[in-house]
Amino acid sequence: MEKTLNEFKRLIEILDELREKCPWDRKQTNESLRIQTIEEVYELSDALLNNDADEVKKELGDVLLHVAFYAKIGKENGQFDLYDVIHGICEKLIFRHPHIFGDVKAETAEQVKENWERIKLKEAPKKTVLGGVPESLPSIIKAYRMQDKARGVGFDWDKREQVWDKLNEEYNEVLLETAISDNQDKIEAEFGDLLFSVINAARLYGVNPDTALERTNRKFKNRFGYLEQKTIQQGRDLKDMTLVEMDKIWEESKKLYK
């Protein structure tokens, strides 16, 4: 622990010096750092999905630097400092885990999550159940988080199998709308309802839809890359191939990338 604290102190001292002496670091603001922070978090996400421990370690360092940088700017503006940030999260963790630091009972992870949502509403009585979901979240993650928060206050199916009837209903509405209408606004709305239901089904079966879709994205990228490479090896162009010819190579790729 002492070694870790010493390195953390070293990070703060390095950042202080950079903020004073480096022209680039000196000119940074919350606004200029925001997009870079988002990029760093996505790079961390990639490393986690790749299960690359070295990259995870590196990207965590980058994210930690950004946390320290925002705290440094907050201190310069007389708003807060790193102590306030750390103290705040310590107090929040203790308050939101009464089953560990208090006398509340919670035997399962689901009970912990339900207690967590109720406590968050008590912390900010005027805040709505879905008010804590950031507007700028990617749509799939936002839908998943909204559904999860609604579940935390009891708004959910009694049995998860019930979601399939709803999914079929939304699917049939898409089929009907696309068959009888050329109104893109209505068609888009029906596709949105269908996607929302698919995300809901994934949640009910313990699957993170964003992770699941990214897994399929990578699989498709690998298979399509194989298709392109095989085409190049044959001295041909994808645009000149028939779908039957492409499908034959695609079937080969499926054996390699599952």
Nearest alpha-carbon partner for 200 in 147, 140, 158:
147
pLDDT digits (tens, 9 = 90+) for 69-103: 999 999 999 999 999 999 999 999 998 888 888 88
Instruction: Look at residue 124 in the predicted model and tell me its pLDDT.
Output: 66
The predicted structure's pLDDT at residue 249: 94
**Regarding predicted confidence, which is higher, 133 or 14?**
14
Give 127-150 pLDDT, tens digit per residue.
Answer: 788 988 888 889 999 999 999 989
DSSP state of 181: -
- Residue 113 pLDDT > 80, yes or no? no
DSSP 235: T
Q: What DSSP assignment string belongs to 73-141?
A: HHHHTTS--HHHHHHHHHHHHHHT-HHHHSS----SHHHHHHHHHHHHHHHSTTS-TTTTS-TTS-HHH
Mean confidence (pLDDT) of the chain:
92
> Alpha-carbon Rg of the chain, whole angstroms?
25
The confidence score (pLDDT) of residue 126 equals 60
Distance set, CA 5 to CA 1, 53, 84, 209 (Å): 6, 22, 17, 38
Distance CA 256, CA 226 (A): 9
Q: Looking at 20-24, 40-44, 126-130, 131-135, which range is the least confident one?
A: 126-130
- Return the higher-pLDDT residue of 77 and 108: 77
pLDDT class for 115, splitting at 50, 70, 90? confident
CB 248 within 8 A of CB 230: no
| Residue-wise pLDDT tens digits, 207-232 | 999 999 999 999 999 999 999 999 99
In sequence order, which residues have a C-beta less than 8 Å from that of residue 146 and are 6 or more positions away?
130, 133
Sign of the CA dihedral 38, 40, 42, 48?
Answer: negative
Query: In the chain, what are the helix, strand and coil shares in percent, each to the nearest 5?
Result: 80, 0, 20
Closest CA to 231 of 243, 218, 249: 249
Identify the CA nearest to 203 among candidates 69, 195, 247. Answer: 195
- pLDDT value at position 81? 96
CA distance 63 to 37: 7
